[in-house]
Amino acid sequence: GGRPGVVRGRGAGQDRRGFGDRGDSASEHNPSDLRSANRPDRAKSPEIDEDVTGRELDRATSRELDSLDERNRPWVAKHLVMAGRLLEIDPQLSFEHALAASRRGGRLGCVREAVGLTAYAAGQYAEALREFRTYRRITGDHTHLPEMVDSERALGRHAKALELAGEVDLGNLERAVRVELVMVLSGIHRDLGDVDSALRVLQVPELDRNRGFSFSPRLFRAYADALEEAGRGGEAKEWRHQARVAERALGIGEFSDPEIVDFGVEEEVRPERRPRARDLVPPGSTGEETEEDAATSVPAAEDTEDGQPEGGRPGGDRAVGDDLAAEGLVVVDSRDDDAEGAAPWEDAEDDQPGQSPTTASRADQDPQGD
Same domain, 62 and 159: no
Nearest to 245 by CA among 312, 178, 181: 312
Average pLDDT value for residue range 164-177: 93
In a domain, residue 271? The reply is no
Average pLDDT value for residue range 288-296: 42
pLDDT of residue 280: 53
187/153 Cα distance (integer angstroms): 9
3-state secondary structure of 28: coil
In a domain, residue 120? The reply is yes
In a domain, residue 261? The reply is no
Same domain, 136 and 154: no
pLDDT at residue 194 greater than cutoff 70? yes
pLDDT of residue 254: 81
Average pLDDT value for residue range 349-359: 38
pLDDT of residue 342: 33
Average pLDDT value for residue range 308-322: 36
- pTM of structure: 0.65
The number of domains in the chain is: 2
pLDDT of residue 3: 34
Which residue range is the domain that position 92 belongs to? 1-140
Same domain, 365 and 222: yes
Q: Model confidence at 256, in pLDDT bands (50, 70, 90)?
A: confident
Residue type, 108: L
Q: Model confidence at 261, in pLDDT bands (50, 70, 90)?
A: low
Same domain, 220 and 311: yes
In a domain, residue 67? The reply is yes
CA distances from 16 to 30, 61, 213, 313 (A): 8, 20, 42, 57
What is the percent of the chain with per-residue pLDDT over 90, rounded to a whole number? Answer: 54
Residue type, 173: L
pLDDT at residue 243 greater than cutoff 70? yes
Hey, how many other C-beta atoms are within 10 angstroms of the C-beta on 191? 14
Phi, psi of 217, deg, nearest 5: -55, -45
Averaged pLDDT of the chain: 73
Same domain, 129 and 154: no
Q: Model confidence at 185, in pLDDT bands (50, 70, 90)?
A: very high
Whether 325 and 290 have beta carbons less than 8 Å apart is answered as no
The residue with greater pLDDT, 176 or 353, is 176
Where is the domain boundary, 140, 168, 196? Answer: 140
On the CB side of 220, CA atoms within 13 Å amount to 27
Same domain, 149 and 136: no
What is the percent of the chain with per-residue pLDDT over 70, rounded to a whole number? Answer: 59
**Of 152-161, 171-180, 326-335, where does mean pLDDT reach its minimum?**
326-335
In sign, the C-alpha dihedral spanning 167, 170, 171, 175 is: positive
In a domain, residue 264? The reply is no
Same domain, 59 and 148: no
Average pLDDT value for residue range 200-206: 97
pLDDT at residue 335 greater than cutoff 80? no
In a domain, residue 298? The reply is yes
Instruction: Report which DSSP code applies to 150.
Output: H
What angle in degrees, to the nearest 10, is found between the helix axes of 158-165 and 175-191? 150
Same domain, 128 and 242: no
Where is the domain boundary, 140, 170, 201? Answer: 140
Same domain, 323 and 348: yes
Same domain, 221 and 252: yes
pLDDT of residue 56: 94
pLDDT at residue 253 greater than cutoff 90? no
pLDDT of residue 77: 97
Neighbouring residues of 186: CB distance < 8 A, sequence distance ≥ 6: 198, 199, 201, 202, 222, 223, 226
pLDDT at residue 366 greater than cutoff 60? no
pLDDT at residue 12 greater than cutoff 90? no
**Of 13-17, 70-74, 85-89, 99-103, where does mean pLDDT reach its minimum?**
13-17
pLDDT at residue 147 greater than cutoff 50? yes
Same domain, 135 and 147: no
pLDDT of residue 330: 74
In a domain, residue 265? The reply is no
Where is the domain boundary, 140, 166, 183? Answer: 140
Same domain, 129 and 251: no
